Amino acid sequence: MSQAYQTDQYEGMISETVSMKGHNGDPILAYVARPLGTGPFPGMVVIHHAPGWDEWYRECARRFAHHGYISISPNLYHRDGHGTPEDVGTKVRAAGGAPDARVLGDLEGAIAWLRGLPNLSGKVGIFGTCSGGRQAFLAGCKLKGLDAVIECWGGRVVMSKEELTPAQPTAPIDFTKDLSAPILGLFGNEDKSPTPEQVNQHEAELKKHGKNYEFHRYDGAGHGFFYYDRAAYRQEQAVDGWKKIWAFLDKNLR
Amino acid sequence: MCTMIAHQVKLEGRGKSGPEWFEVREANVSYDHPYDLPLEHALNIDFVNEAMGPGTRVSVELSVDAARKLLQTIEAVLAQADARGVLEDIPLGAIGSGKA
C-alpha cells in the first residue's frame, strides 16, 4: 500500500450523496467520499460499471478517499429512472448502454465539481471498470482537466462497425491520438470483452501515437477480477492490480 | 454492459413480481453480464412494463445451454398444442385486457 499509515495517526472521511450538474447542466446524483482535513487532496472520478451504480462503487470511492483522494462517483443512469441498481441497470442494458455523449457530459460535470473545491490539490484522475473502463479512456481522450486515467478491462474500446450505434457512434480507440493524460490499463488474459487481441490493438495504438501508457495483463483472470462479490474475483491479481493503481496515482497525482 | 448485445420484443402477457401480477409489455433479451449467475456472460431475459418503472420486472439469467433447452421446450410445447388443435393464436387485444 502506498499510503503507509501509523496506528497512532488520526483518520477520518465523509461520504454522502450529493447533487451535481451533469450533461446539459442536468442535476444528477453522485456519491462522494473525501478525507477529512484541509488538504490539499487530489481528486478521483470513479465510474461505475455497466450493471449499475451499486455498492461496489461506493466502497471503491471510499477506498480512494482512504488513500487520500477526494472521490466522486456520478450516477450515469440518473435519467433512466430510480429503483435498485439492478432494476435500473437492466433497463440500461436493454437500451444498449448509456449514450457516450451524455456520459462524457456527466464526467465533465464531475471533474468540474472536484475542481470547484477549495481543498483540491489541482490534480484529478479518473477510474473505471468494465464499460466504465471504456468511458475512462474516452474521457481521457475527449475531456480536459484530467491528469491520470485508469482503465480496468474496458470492453469495446475496440469496436467493429457492426457494434457502432447512435448512442455509441465511434470506437474509442479511434480517439487515441487525443489522449491527454498518462494511462494505466489492467486486463485479465481470460477476458472475452476485451479479448487479449483487442488489448493488443489498444496498446499498439497508444504506442503508435507515443502516449504515456502502462498496461498490465494477468494470467488466471478474466473480466471483473476486482469484484470480490462475484465469482470472477481473483485475489492475487486484484491485490497486485491495486498496488499498481496506488503507485500510478502516487506518480501522477501527487 | 460490455457486449451490449440486447434486443427488445413487444409482447402481451402477465408477469408476477412480488405478490402482484402485472401486465408484461416488453421482453428485453440480452447476452451480457448477469447479476447473479456466476458466469461472465449469460442469456438474460427481463419481462417488463416500461410504463410502470424499472422495478417492475421478472428476470431470468440462463446459461447458453439452458437458454437453448428453454427455446426447444417452448417450441415443442407450442407444436404439441398445435398438433392437438388447442393452440389459441389470438392476440390479447382482440379479447380485451381481462381486467375490470
Which ipTM was obtained for this model? 0.81
Q: Which residues of B touch A (CB under 8 A)?
A: 1-4, 6, 8, 26, 28, 30, 32-33, 35, 38-41, 44, 46, 48, 50, 53-55, 57, 59
Tens of pLDDT along chain A (254 residues) come to: 445 678 898 889 999 999 999 999 999 999 999 999 999 999 999 999 999 999 999 999 999 999 999 999 999 999 999 999 999 999 999 998 999 999 999 999 999 999 999 999 999 999 999 999 999 999 999 999 999 999 999 999 999 999 999 999 999 999 999 999 999 999 999 999 999 999 999 999 999 999 999 999 999 999 999 999 998 999 999 999 999 999 999 999 99
pLDDT tens digits, one per residue of A64-75: 999 999 999 999
Q: Which helix (H) or strand (E) holds A196?
A: helix A196-208
This prediction has a pTM of 0.92
CA torsion through residues B35, B38, B43, B46, sign: negative
- Chain A residues closer than 8 Å to B40 by CB: 191-192, 222-224, 232
The second-level CATH assignment, the architecture, of A13-253 is 3-Layer(aba) Sandwich (3.40)
Helices (H) and strands (E) in chain A, counts: 6, 8
Collapsing DSSP states into helix, strand and coil, what is residue A170?
A: coil
> Does position B5 have pLDDT exceeding 60, yes or no?
yes
- How would DSSP label each residue in B39-62? SSSEEEEEEE-GGG-TT-EEEEEE
Q: Nearest 5°: phi and psi at A122? A: 110, -15
Q: Side chain identity at A107, as an amino acid letter?
A: L
pLDDT tens digits, one per residue of A91-149: 999 998 999 999 999 999 999 999 999 999 999 999 999 999 999 999 999 999 999 99
Mean pLDDT throughout B6-32?
94
CA-nearest residue to B3 within chain A is: A193
CB contact under 8 A, A90 and B46: yes
Q: Nearest 5°: phi and psi at A223? A: -80, 135
At which residue does the C-alpha cell 495504438 appear? Answer: A205
